[in-house]
Amino acid sequence: MSPSFPLDPADDTFLNTADRRYTHIVDIPASRAQVWDTLTADDALVSWSPVITSAHWTSPRPFGAGTTRQVTLGGALRLDERFYRWEEQKRMTFTLDSASVPGLRRFAEDLTLLSLGTATRLVWTFALEGNPLLRPVLAATSPVNRLVTKSIAEGITGRVRRESVGARR
C-alpha cells in the first residue's frame, strides 16, 4: 500500500482565494444532462485526459455530498477526493483528503454547469496550496499547471462529442 499524506480541508473561501488558482471555461455542444453524465461516468477523467491514468468512485451510486473518488495522475500520484457539494446536473465541488506524496497542504476543484440553450458552459476551477517547501516549486511550475488543468477541462469536449456520435448510430 502506498503512503498517504493528509491534507487540510478546503472550502469555497479557499477556492476563491488560493494563490494557485486556475479557472477554465469550456463551451460544450451538448445538454447539461449529457455533460453531467460524462462527468459522473465510471470512466470519467481517464476517457479524456492522458494525465489521469486511473479514476474510480469509492462510494456507491447515487452520488451526492460525501461521495469519494480515488484518482491517479501519471500512474504515480494518487489523490483521495471527497465531494462536499453535489447539485445534480449543476455543480460539484471536492477537496482532497489525502495524496500519495507529501507537500500539498490544500486542494479543491469546483465544476459548474450553465445551460446555454443547446450547449453547456463548464466552469472548472482548480485551487491548490503547497506547504512552505513546495510553494516555490508551485510558483515556478504555474504555467505548466495552467496548461495541464486546461487540458483536463477542455478534454471533456471530445468525449462528449464521441458519445453523441455513438448515440446517433
Number of folded domains that form the chain: 1
Query: What is the separation of C-alpha 127 from the centre of its chain, rounded to a whole number of angstroms?
Result: 10
DSSP classification of residue 146? H
The secondary structure of residue 101, as a DSSP letter, is S
Indicate which CATH number applies to the domain containing 114: 3.30.530.20
Q: Is the pTM here over 0.75, yes or no? A: yes
> 43 lies in which domain range?
5-168
The rounded distance, in Å, linking the Cα atoms of 52 and 2 is 18
Query: In the prediction, which pLDDT does 125 show?
Result: 98
Q: What is the pLDDT of residues 99-148, one digit of tens each?
A: 999 999 999 999 999 999 999 999 999 999 999 999 999 999 999 999 99
**pLDDT bucket at 21, cuts 50 / 70 / 90:** very high
Scan for cell 458519445, then name that residue. Answer: 163
* Calpha distance 39→124 (Å, rounded): 12
Confidence of residue 166 (pLDDT cuts 50, 70, 90): low
